[in-house]
Structure formats: C-alpha cells, structure tokens
Amino acid sequence: MPTTTSSSSSAASSSGNRQADVFSRLASSDPEVKLKALREVKNQIIGNRTKKQSFLKLGAVPAIASALSECDNSSILVQSAAALGSFACGFEAGVQAVIDAGAFPRLLRLLTSSDEKVVDAGARSLRMIFQSNQAPKYDFLQEKNMEFLFSLLNSENENVSGLGASIIAHACGTTVEQQLLCDAGVLEKLVILLDGSLSQREACLESLATVLKSNPEAVSRFVGLEAGRYLSSVTELTKDRYPRTRLLSCLCLVVIYNTSPSYFLNMGTKSSLVTTLLELLNDPGQSGNEAALGLSSLIAEKEDLQKLAYEANAIKNIVDILKTGSELHPKRLQGLFLSLAELCSKLEDCRCSFLSLEVLDLLVNALRHKNADVRTAACICFKNAARSVKNLSAGRFTTDHVMLPLVQLLHDPSSAVQVAVLGALSNIVLDFSSPKSTFIEYGGIKQLIELSKSMDPNARCSALRALRNLMFLADNKRKELFYSDVKAQGFASLISDPEPTVQEQALALLRNLVDGCINSIEFVFDEDGLILDSVARQLRKAPQAQMAIQGMYVLTNVASGTELHKEAVMQQLFPQPQAESNNFMLKFLQSHESQLRSATVWTVINLISPSSPGALDRHVKLRNEGIIPQLKNMVNDACLDVKIRIRTVLSQSMSFGDN
C-alpha cells in the first residue's frame, strides 16, 4: 500500500503534467484546441494562487497575451482576456506578468471592438489590473487621457464605465489631480453610477472616496450636488444587503467625515457608521480586512466616536476576533490593532477594559509577526495602552515577557516599526516606580543612543523622547550609565541637529538629565562646558518657542546649583562683549508663549536666590541689562503661573533694597 507522501508526490506530478499539457495546447494553430486550452487555464487558476504560480513558471501569460494580437476570433479574445484577468486578480506577480507580456495595450484595444462580449471581457480584465498598485498611472494633466477617461465614464456598457471609475480610484493621488477631475465634471459623472448596477455602484464609491479624500472643496461640491441627494444615497447604501457595498459606502463616509466633520452633526449617523463597521469586522473576506482599517481611521483622534465605539462593545468584539485562533490576514490584524490603539488613546475606561481582557499575550505575539505593518500597529497599541497610570504603576508592561520583544524591535529593519516601538517604550519607561533593570539589562539604553544617531529624523526624535522619559526623576547611577555612552561631544551634536524637533527633544532630555542633585549638573561642564555652550548658542539663534522653553529650563536647572553653576549661566546669558540685540532673555520675557515666559522667570529666581553669596551682584547685572525692569512691567501678566513667579522675583529684589 503506497504511503501518504508517495500519494501526494504522485498527485503533484500528475497535476504538473496536466498543466504542461494545457500549456502546450495554447500554442496550437487549431482555434478549437486553443480555445479549449484557454478555458482550462482560466478555470484552473480562478482563486488558486498555487496554480497561478505554476502556470506563470511555464510561461502561460506571454502565450495567452500573444493570442490577443494574433487572432480575431471573438471567442478566443474573450477567453484570453478572461484568463489574463484571472491571473491579475488579487495576485501581484500575475499583474506584473501581464504587464511584462505587453498585454495591457492589447486589452485596451479590445474596448474598441464591435463585439460587446469582447469589450466586456477586456474591461473586466483591465479592472482586475487596476486593483493593483502596479497598474500604469494615468496623467490626467494630458488632455488625451482625460478624453479617454470620459469616454469610459460615458459608456453604456457597465463594465466599461466601471473601468473608468477604477482608473480614477487607482490613479488620482494628488490635490491637483482631484481639482482637475472635479473641474472637468467627474463628480457629476460618477454619481450617475450610484443608480447603476452593483459593480458600477462599488466602483463609483471607491472613486468618490479617492477624489474627496482630504479635499474640503471637493467634498463641498459633492455634498452640494442636487441639494445633498447623493450624500444621502451614500448614507443609505450603508444598509445595503451586499457587505462590499456597505463597506465601500462606509469608507466613503469616513473620508467625508475626516475631511469635513461639519456635514456629520447628527449623532445618529455617527453611531450608525460605527455600528456598521463593527458588524463588518466579522466578514470573513476582503470587506472584513478593510473594515478594520476603516474603523481605525474613523475614530482616530475623535473622543466622541471612541466613546460611541466603546459603548457598542467594540473592544470585546475586536479581542474576540483576535482570540479566534484562526490565521487572520495581515491587513485585518493591522486594522484591528490600530482600532484598539485608537480606542485606548484618550479614554482610561477603554484602556482598563482592554487590559482586563488578558490581551498582553496577543500583543506580544503580534510584535513577532512577519508583517511589518502588524508589528507597527501592535507597538502603537502598546503605546496607548501604557498611558494608563494605574496599569503602568502595576508593572504590567515591565515584565521580561513584554520588555524583551519590545527591546528586540529596536533592531527591526523597518524604520516605521522602530519609530512605533520607541513610542511605546517612551510611555513604558515613565513608570519610575519600577527599577527598569529589565530594560537596561537587555541593552535598551545603548540601542536608544544608537537610534538617536539614525539617518531617519523621526527615529532620532523618538529615541531622544524615550531617553528623555527614561531620565525623568532617574537616580544618578542611571544618568551616569547613559552619559558614559553619549559623552559631551555626542550631546552637543544632538543639540545642534539640523531638525528642530530633534533639537527640542535633545534639550528636553538634557533638562531631565541635569534636574536633581548637584552631581547631575556637572554633566554640562564636561569638556570645558561644551554642552552648556551648545545650549546657549541655540538660544541665541531665536529658536522656535518649544525649543526655547526646553533650553531655558536647562539653564534654570543649572542655575539651581552652586555659586559656580550660577555664574556659568550668567556668562552664557551675558557674554562679553555682547550686542544689545543678543539679549535673548528680554525677547523671551516678551514672548506670547506663557511657558517660555515662565521658564525665563524661573531662571532669574534661581540666579538671585538671597541665600547665594553672589546674588546681589547678579541682581545688579540683571537690572542693568533691563531684565528686572521688564519683570516689574509684567506684574499683571495674563498667565497666573508667570504672575506668581514674578512676585517671587520682586520679593527677592526687595531684599537687595530694590523698591
């Protein structure tokens, strides 16, 4: 009796022989033989990626493409086009093979056939190709392309008009193209398809979402068509019996809502949209995959919609899907984790509900997923879940089980994953009640320092933010561990980074580093005060307000130290010789940013603390430089914090005999 392995091998061999036989018949000069072979290829590959791959290796696509140009037999043209469309359907390698074989222009020529069946087959095949990013782009700035597009949209053949809509969904990617299409009257053409067949409606909804995305003017035009009739039509289609239609209408409404929220003042419409997308999450096909991403886009940064989704039991529904045990499509996993991340971004109830469902194992497994988008989404989910002070303090995120895979992702080849995991770690390391030894043992600090030198400015900025949080209220041992790797020269380079956001985070990190005991302040005096010089140099360059705030707090913390430290700050504030225009303290006190005014006043408070021996001399210097008079003019500052700090300064001044 043969073994199972032998049976499988025999079956595979037999299948391969049949495919080779069919392939050989594609080149037959007998039309009937060729036609039968084309039908067999088409029927074998429909929905079967393995067989598509096998036929690709045999060279079937070029053989089928040649049939489009070598014969005028309508039946052969129809079957050839159908077979090429099947190769392209949901199979990127198939799309590339069809394009490489030169079949694309031949399929376009079929649209001019006098035989309606040939036209239909060509249009269907082209629509399959235009579902792929590899399909040729159309430049709508060229008049001939716009004319061709409108010839498709004006066609009475539903597959041809649907092809026109598919081309728009694929090729329209810029605001200029959106505007050009709107000005040419595309919206008016597309909405006609809403009353057409199922395939026309779905193609129309995809195209509308593309033309309207992030374009308020285009949304306004669409909503204004026939006094909002078509917006109502799209809303009504969210109740359609076909899942795909419901999904596409929801995604179109999500685009409109994200672009122009004013058209969605009705809470019932919002609730219905959330509910429909949650129902679609259970669809086993492509609609379920896309619904997850649609839900995350809808509720992103919107606390009211997050609350609606929470009340609709979204968290439990999503977690139940993740716990099914079946292998989910990467796009679905990405969307589900992003939806959970958004739900946990603002509402503490959502975070607690999410973490109560024992989901950490699910998240940890997702961190190791082979798809980078899934790993990224899982990191973002960790980041937002870790905003829960209650769960953070309980140490739920600092166990080896969680920390090891997070630290490992700092080495991920994808920069998007690195930035996302840095965001997660930034929140987790804020748990200063924990010793963070696990993170340090796994080389976390060293890798953060390495990423602060990344070519990607987002990675540099995120790494510095994580280090900034790690140094918040850190003990001197941890600070010395960090500084021993970064050194004065490295810190000075970060402060002088070409990216303003990186400069800001570097200064914020330094602010936390020198906060606390006297020993911490000594870091800025290493290598002849290189770091302190770099800080002052940036402040003299009239930096952005947020950067200046962090820089002034560095000076505030240094000025809280010894007499030597205070005098060093004075030297940086008023170097000799100094042009009057370089008095940045005056400029900061006159800033519209209250936090910058407050940080600057704090520096003055620390410089003239009466308990310090040189306080009187520094007070005289500050008065002569116009700082004390400026503060007297600010006694009624609009910001309460600034007003209170100024009163402290004036009280100190009185101790020096200044009225």
Q: What is the pLDDT of residue 475?
A: 87
Predicted confidence (pLDDT) per residue in 446-468, tens digit: 999 999 999 999 999 999 999 99
* Secondary structure of residue 437 in the 3-state scheme: helix
CA distance 501 to 495: 10
pLDDT one-digit tens code per residue, 208-241: 999 999 999 999 999 999 988 999 999 999 999 9
**Helices 303-311 and 348-355, packing angle to 10 deg:** 40
Does the pLDDT value for residue 589 go beyond 80?
A: yes
Which residues are within 8 A (CB) of 367 and not within 5 positions of it... i.e. 6 or more apart? 375, 378, 379, 382, 405, 406, 409
What is the share, in percent, of the chain residues with pLDDT greater than 70?
95
**Does pLDDT of 577 surpass 80?**
no
Q: What is the mean pLDDT of the chain?
A: 90
Query: At 21, is the pLDDT very low, low, confident or very high (cuts 50, 70, 90)?
Result: confident
pLDDT for 17 equals: 66
Picking from 323, 402, 318, the residue whose alpha carbon sits closest to that of residue 368 is: 402
The Cα–Cα gap between 203 and 197 comes to: 10
Give the gyration radius of the chain's Cα atoms: 33
With a cut of 80, say whether residue 13 has pLDDT above it.
no
More confident residue, 364 or 655: 364
At residue 536, does pLDDT exceed 70? yes
Give the helix/strand (H/E) hosting 374.
helix 372-385
Average pLDDT over every residue of 339-351:
95
**Can you read off the two tokens belonging to residue 214?**
């992030």
Across the range 575-603, mean pLDDT stands at 86
DSSP state of 327: P
DSSP 431: -
pLDDT at 117 exceeding the cut of 70: yes
Residue carrying the six token digits 């953070």: 392
Residues 6+ apart with CB under 8 A from 188: 225
Structure tokens belonging to residue 41: 């290829």
Q: Alpha-carbon distance 659 to 655, whole Å?
A: 9
123-139: average pLDDT? 89
- Angle among Cα 4, 8, 9 to the nearest 5 degrees reads 120
Q: What is the pLDDT of residue 640?
A: 95
Query: Using a CB cutoff of 8 Å and minimum separation of 24, what contacts does 92-97 make?
Result: 92/132, 92/134, 93/52, 93/53, 93/56, 94/52, 94/56, 94/61, 95/128, 95/129, 95/132, 95/134, 95/135, 96/134, 97/56, 97/61, 97/62
* CA distances (Å), origin 505, targets 465, 499, 513: 6, 10, 12
Contact 557/511 with Cβ under 8 angstroms? yes
Residue 12 has pLDDT above 50, yes or no: no
Count of CB atoms situated within 10 Å of the CB of 571: 14
Domain extents in the chain: 15-136, 485-659
Two tokens at 595? 């936090």
Question: Residue 2: is its pLDDT beyond 70?
Answer: no
Q: What is the pLDDT of residue 465?
A: 96
State residue 511's pLDDT score.
97
Task: Confirm if 344 and 350 have CB atoms less than 8 A apart.
Answer: yes
3-state secondary structure 564-632: HHHHHHHHHHCCCCCCHHHCHHHHHHCCCCHHHHHHHHHHHHHHCCCCCCCHHHHHHHHHHCCHHHHHH
Kindly state the tokens that stand for 380: 């973002």
**Is residue 160 predicted with pLDDT exceeding 80?**
yes
Q: To which CATH superfamily is domain 485-659 assigned?
A: Leucine-rich Repeat Variant (1.25.10.10)
Here the tokens at position 217 are 């003017």
Tokens of 8: 């499988």
Nearby residues of 542 by Cβ (< 8 Å), 6 or more positions away: 584, 587
Tokens of 236: 């009504």
Tell me how far apart the alpha carbons of residues 152 and 158 are, in angstroms, rounded to a whole number: 10
Q: Is there a contact between 498 and 460 (Cβ–Cβ < 8 Å)?
A: no
Separation CA 47–CA 66 (nearest Å): 23
Is residue 68 pLDDT above 90, yes or no? no
- Alpha carbon distances (Å) from 205 to 85, 114, 176, 194, 252: 22, 29, 20, 8, 6
Nearest one of 344, 481, 502, 480 to 424, comparing CA atoms: 344
- Residue found under tokens 């989404």: 377
Give the range among 56-70, 122-136, 220-234, 501-515 with minimum mean pLDDT.
56-70
Instruction: State the architecture of 15-136 in CATH terms.
Output: Alpha Horseshoe (1.25)
Q: Exposed, middle or buried: residue 552 (CB in 10 Å: 0-12, 13-18, 19+)?
A: buried
Contact 245, 235 (CB under 8 A): no
- Is residue 216 reached through a cis peptide bond, with omega within 30 degrees of 0 on the bond before it? no
pLDDT at 5 over 50: no
Q: Which of 382-391, 433-442, 473-482, 512-521 has the lowest mean pLDDT?
A: 433-442
Q: Does the pLDDT of residue 399 top 90, yes or no?
A: no
By CB atoms closer than 10 A (0-12, 13-18, 19+), residue 60 is buried
The string of pLDDT tens digits covering residues 468-516 is 999 998 888 889 999 999 999 999 999 999 999 999 999 999 999 999 8
Backbone angles phi, psi at 456, to 5 degrees: -85, 115
Q: Please, are residues 166 and 160 in contact by the beta-carbon 8 Å criterion?
A: no
Written as six digits, the tokens of 535 are 């800080």
Q: Is the pLDDT of residue 354 over 80?
A: yes
| 9 pLDDT more than 80 | no
Q: Is 15-136's fold the same as 485-659's?
A: yes
Phi, psi at 452, each rounded to 5°: -70, -10
**358-386: average pLDDT:** 95
Phi, psi of 328 (to 5 degrees): -95, 150
Looking at residue 106, what is its pLDDT?
92
Average pLDDT over residues 57-72: 85
Q: For 270-320, how does the pLDDT look when each residue is reduced to its tens digit (9 = 90+)?
A: 999 999 999 999 998 889 999 999 999 999 999 999 999 999 999 999 999
Q: Is 630 exposed, middle or buried (0-12, 13-18, 19+ CB in 10 A)?
A: middle
What pLDDT score does 414 carry? 96
pLDDT of residue 25: 84
Helix (H, G, I), strand (E, B) or coil at 655: helix
Residue 612 burial by CB count (10 A; 0-12/13-18/19+): exposed, middle or buried? middle
Q: Write the pLDDT tens digit of every residue in 628-657.
A: 999 999 999 999 999 999 999 999 988 887
Position 497 scores a pLDDT of 94
Residue 86: name the closest of 137, 36, 124, 31 by CA. 124
pLDDT for the residue 16: 56
